[in-house]
Amino acid sequence: MRVLTAAAALLAGLLSCTAVQAQTYPNKTVKIIVPYQAGQGTDVATRYFADQLTKALGQTFYVDNKPGAGGNIGTEAAAHSPADGYTLLMGTNGTQTMNEFLYAAPGFDPGKDFTPIMLVGLLPMVVAANPSFPANSVAELVAAAKAKPDKIDVALPSTTARLVFELLKERTGAPLFGVPYKGSATAITEVMGGQVQTMVDTVTALRGHVTSGKLKALGITTLKPSELLAGVKPVAEQGVPGFETTGWVALYAPRGTPEPIIAALSKELTRILIEPETRQRLLQIGLDPVGGTPASLAEFEKRERAKWGPVIKAAGLKGE
C-alpha cells in the first residue's frame, strides 16, 4: 500500500510539474530548427511564424538554419533535442515522408522521434529558367531536351525539387540532367547568372525573382492554375496530365514534449492562421495556409508516406 501511495504521489507530482510548465510556457527563448538554408521556402515561412509567435507569446522565437543532407542534419538535431518545447522543427514533406526512403541512415525516425503540432501550409513547386533560355513552357523544355539529350541542366536545391525532376523525366521521357544544390540561394544565383539553365524550387523561393524578370516560370506543379503564381500554366496542362507534386511545411516537437505545450502551440498557431492578415501574408510569400490539429497532421503524414515511398523505391532514388 505504501508503494502504491508513493507511486501515486510521484505521478501526481509529475503531472503537476507538467501542468505548471505548460502554464508558464514559454519562459525563455524558443528555437525553431529549419533544416535548409536561409532564403528557401521553408525558411521564409518559418521566419514569419516565428515573428508572429514572438509577438503573441512574449518570448523570442527564432530560426536556426541547419542545412545539409537533404534536411537530415537539422532534423536529426531536432530529434535529439530536449523534449521541453524550447526546440521545435519546421519539417517538410522531404524530412518527414521522403528521406527515410532516400537515405539508408537519415539519423532519425520521423514517425517515432517527433510529435506533430500543425500542418502550416502547402508549397507548390515551380519549374523556372534563365530569361535567355529559349523554352517558355515545360512543354517546350521537354521538346528542347529531347532534341539535345542531357544538354539541359536543372538545379535541384531540395528533396522535393529532385522528386519533381525525376517524375517529370519519367512522365515525359525528357533526358534532362539534374544538378544537386544544398539550398536555394546558390541555385538561384547560378540560374540567374546563366551557369545553369533551369531549376525547380518552391513558389516562395522563386516568385519574387519571376516577378522581377530575373527568372521566368515555365510551369507550376499544382493540378489547376494557382493564385500564388497567376498566369503560369500547371505542368498538368502541358502534356503531363495529373502531374502534381506539392511541398508542405509543418511544425513538430521532439517526441515526449508535454501534451499541454503541444496543445498550447497548436491553439496559438490556429489563432494566427485564421487572421485574414496572416492568410494574405502567407499567400504573398507563396504558402497556401492549411492548419488543423496534431492528429490531422499525423494522418496526413501517413498518407504522404504511403504515396511517395513506393514512387521513390520504384525510381531507385537515393539521397546525395
**Phi and psi at residue 289, in whole multiples of 5°?**
-65, 145
Query: Where does the chain have alpha helices with state H?
Result: 2-24, 41-57, 72-79, 93, 99-102, 110-113, 138-147, 159-172, 184-193, 203-212, 259-273, 276-284, 294-315
Domain match, 135 and 112 both: no
Domain match, 40 and 116 both: yes
Write the pLDDT tens digit of every residue in 46-83. 999 999 999 999 999 999 999 998 899 999 999 999 99
Q: Is the residue at 33 inside a domain?
A: yes
Q: Which pLDDT does position 246 carry in this prediction?
A: 86
Write the pLDDT tens digit of every residue in 245-290. 888 999 999 999 999 999 999 999 999 999 998 888 888 878 888 9
C-alpha grid cell, residue 301 = 503524414
Domain match, 141 and 177 both: yes
For the chain, the distance separating the N- and C-terminal CA atoms, rounded to the nearest angstrom, is 58
Domain match, 271 and 131 both: no
Q: Is the residue at 14 inside a domain?
A: no
Give the pLDDT band (50/70/90) at residue 122.
confident
Domain match, 207 and 266 both: no
Triad 267, 96, 48: Cα angle to 5°:
45
Q: How many domains does the chain have?
A: 2
Name the DSSP class of 232.
P
Q: Is the residue at 15 inside a domain?
A: no
Domain match, 137 and 166 both: yes
Domain match, 77 and 118 both: yes
Domain match, 91 and 167 both: no
| Element containing residue 137 per DSSP (H, E) | none
User: How far is residue 220 from each of residues 183, 201, 206, 247, measured CA to CA in Å?
Assistant: 20, 10, 11, 12
Domain match, 128 and 118 both: no
Q: Residue 285: which CATH number?
A: 3.40.190.150
Report CA 182 to chain centroid distance, whole Å. 14
| Residue 5 pLDDT greater than 80, yes or no | no
Average pLDDT of the chain to the nearest whole number? 90
| Residue 241 pLDDT greater than 50, yes or no | yes
Q: Residue 169: which CATH number?
A: 3.40.190.10
Which of 194, 214, 237 lies at the terminal end of a domain, its last residue?
A: 237
| Structural domain boundaries enclosing 134 | 124-237
pTM of the entire predicted model = 0.76
